[in-house]
Amino acid sequence: MLSFLRLNRNIRTIRRYRNVLGILIKYGFGHVVEQLNINYYLELGRRIVTLGTATKEIERLTQPERLRLAMVELGPTFIKLGQILSTRPDIIPKEYADEFSKLQDKVPSIALEEIELQIQRELGYPIDELFSEFSPLPIAAASIAQVHRGRLKSGEEVVVKIRRPGIKKIIETDVDILIGLAYLIENHIPTAEIYDPIGVVKEFRRTINREMDFTREGHTIDRFAVNFANSSTVHVPQVYWSLTGEGVLTMEYVDGVKVSNIELLRDAGYDLKEIARNGADSFLKQVLVDGLFHGDPHPGNFFILPGNRICMLDYGMVGRLDSDLKFQLADLLLAILHRDVDNVISLLLYSGDITEDINTKHLKRDLSELIDDYYEIPLQEINAGKLLTEFIEILNLYRIKFPADLMLLGKALITIEGIGRQLDPDFNMIEHLRPFMEKLVRDKVTPTHLSKELLRVAQSYGALAKNLPRDLKEFINRVNRNKFKINLEHRGLEKLITDLDKSSNRLSFSLLIAALIVGSSLIMQTDKGPMLFGFPMLGFLGYSIAAFLGLWLAIAILRSGRL
């Protein structure tokens, strides 16, 4: 909480806090703000509500819709947070994830003069020394960056992605606020602990910081280019590193047809079934072979080139799977397809973040019912996206958390299958998944893999055996020197302590008021001291102070809403 207190000294952060809390209250989340016990901001928020309460149109909306609209009004950081949360139905309810998936961060473009200054700051030279042509109108404008077409001095056509000036400071301020609010939410709203708000915001901070560094995206593109170097079905745009920096990314311009433009693809003579097949195979290769996959494969990020080749754009959001995660994923998918409920549960217990109070009996029942729904359906007719969606709903119901990359994969897989079915109504992801799964299973039992696993286990036990005598000696020495300590942390008592402080303060005020009244009454019985209207002045003064304090206490109690 110290970092949160330090933030309160920052004027920019305080102003943003006011704005954030005001917008939350405007969209009907005042009760959440009140639970956080931010007294100063709560009073400000009440003034905001007084000046302009939620309209009837807002009140008629559902809670997920109101939160989405609040995120839009709060700006790019909160929009990005909502977009990332839309890929995590394992940590937020499905209705929220579905609503957040509608978030779009299209914003008005910024002036060309600002873009030119930003490019010169990042690359060190004026724009006319770097490009022979540079379009003044952007081809895309989002909250973090906007994209322009250009031409190099050597003649190549390029697209230039430029980070918006000042966006980094805005996002840093908002993320600091989110961290502070996450601490307050976890401390004051007990039911929020299962959603791990602090962990979610920290993961979001890592993700958005990586997304704002365009050199990282450039290196990711280069890795994709290496992975598909020998592919005749996938084209990865070239990065021009001499014109790329942390806030500017220059890439090859790709002239293609959006995969969502079905009519134009058909009229131009493209083979839609082959495109669907190439897209599915390339995505599964990314996941199950390379361990690096495109995390945002919506139709706008896929262009189709001559020869039914696919070009992927926007590599800001990617997922990664190491060997262990790939094998866990393969085992889980095979257990589901083989309708082995016991194996599914054991894999969930091993792979997921299981809460202590999970009811495994009910979990087994729900998984059995899910698998029974698909029991009579041939594998080639199973809708993988629908099956995965229902499986994730069960994970969400039992608060089973999986690694963020696996949940991102689930969302991406559903999107890819949807695009495939638009291109080819007979498209089936299971058919494309089968050969990759079979290869993974074979790889798992190869002598090479088994020897690597055996070596890794041996190294782990060797390190444990090597460090054990030293750790045991240090433990005994600490005990002998009375320096062995156990740190205990109480959680969830902060709100109780705050309420007790308020109650004791009010009780003290009440006793003080009572004492003033009793003392003033006794003084009134005497005829000593200065007189006013025939009564002792000290008595009048005591009554006046008691009345003032009593009125103040009554107003405080009424404003708290707790009589």
Quick one: which of 243, 194, 245 has its CA closest to 216? 245
In whole angstroms, give the CA distance from residue 414 to residue 371.
18
Per-position DSSP letters for 233-265, written without gaps between them? SEE-PPB-GGG-BTTEEEEE----EETT-HHHH
98 in active site = no
In whole angstroms, give the CA distance from residue 251 to residue 228.
17
For residue 276, give Cα distances in angstroms to 256, 296, 412: 16, 17, 15
Q: How far, in whole angstroms, is CA 164 from its chain's centroid?
A: 21
In whole angstroms, give the CA distance from residue 101 to residue 105.
11
Beta-bridge partner residues of 131: 152
Q: Which of 90, 296, 331, 405 is catalytic?
A: 296
CB 276, CB 423: distance < 8 Å? yes
The residues near 320 (Cβ < 8 Å, ≥ 6 apart) are: 291, 292, 293, 405
In whole angstroms, give the CA distance from residue 13 to residue 77.
14
Quick one: which of 30, 1, 37, 2 has its CA closest to 189? 37
CB 364, CB 346: distance < 8 Å? no
For 353, which DSSP code?
B
Quick one: which of 258, 262, 252 has its CA closest to 301? 258
In whole angstroms, give the CA distance from residue 215 to residue 224.
14
Quick one: which of 363, 353, 409, 405 has its CA closest to 384? 409
In whole angstroms, give the CA distance from residue 97 to residue 12.
31
In whole angstroms, give the CA distance from residue 41 to residue 122.
39
SS3 137: coil
Which residues are tagged catalytic? 296
